[in-house]
Structures are given as C-alpha cells and as structure tokens.
Structure 1
C-alpha cells in the first residue's frame, strides 16, 4: 500500500512540474502578438524607442531649421508621431521630446 501511495505522489508531483512551462509558453505567444503595436505606444524620456529609430536614414538632417538643439554624441533626432524625439543610437533610449517647428 505504501508503494502505491508513493507512486501516486511521485506521479502527481511530476505532473505539476510541467505546469510552469506551459504557462510560460502561453505568455510568450501573447507578447509576440503585441510586438507589432509597440510603435504606437506613448513614449517618455527614458523609454526605449523601437529599433527602426536608431537607423541613420531615420535621422532628421535639418534639425536646426526645425528649432531643435544639437543632438548629443551618438544620438539623433527622429520624427515620431508628429513630434521630434532625440534617440540614443547605441541603445534606443529616448533622451528628449520636442514639438519642433
């Protein structure tokens, strides 16, 4: 009888060990669905901008004409949602947000 109880306990414990893996898999599927919408969220100084804004071709070249201060070293101004955002090109962190001209 003790062997039966031990076997049942082991089987029950073993079946519980797989639950966190299943729950984690469900979470990662949800996160991947949200990924395309990240460029529509509100960004604040200190947030990480989407990677596309770190590209050189996204940089605003005429930042002076737009009334923007000179970009810091390894950063660039990009236009995002009608506003100008200073993005660190090395890590994508938002350094400043201006409305510009």
Structure 2
C-alpha cells in the first residue's frame, strides 16, 4: 500500500492489460480519454498516474477503479517521491 512520500507506478499492469486486449497505446488513449503521451509516460513508468488517470483507465477496461487497482496490484512499483530542490536566491550586493 502506498505510504506518504511515495509515488505509485502502474505501467506494467496497464501494459499487460492493454496487450491482453490486443489494443494499441493509441486506442487505449482514445477509449480512456487520455492523451497518447500520457498513456506512454504512465505505461513506461516515466510518471506516476493521477487519481483521474486511474479512474479513466478503469473505465476503459470496464471496471471500477478499485477493481483495476486490485487487478494490477502485483505489478505496482512504489518509489520515494522526488524532492524538489530549493533554488538559492542570489546574495544581494551592497552598493
């Protein structure tokens, strides 16, 4: 289960389910109402999906979101969230 500070990657499960149905990424993008690039990025685990994306995948695969997550649970990868580095402000020079 996801912990605070972790991101969930579902690409393996999405790819498996898509291939089992003999769908292309383009077709999955169309039936899920997601951008083709979004489907690619999620399937290749380049990005963690939003809750909305998970719901759209579930609907495309004709199931509830919890059923979808249960179906792919063994293929989910959890990674620590990437910390955003704080940019240091340049020192003010005295004139």
Give TM class, smaller chain.
under 0.3
Give the TM-score, by structure 1 length: 0.26
Structure with larger RCO (C-alpha < 8 A, sep 6+): 2
Q: In proportion to residue count, which structure has more strand?
A: 1
Give the TM-score, by structure 2 length: 0.27
Larger C-alpha radius of gyration, 1 or 2? 1
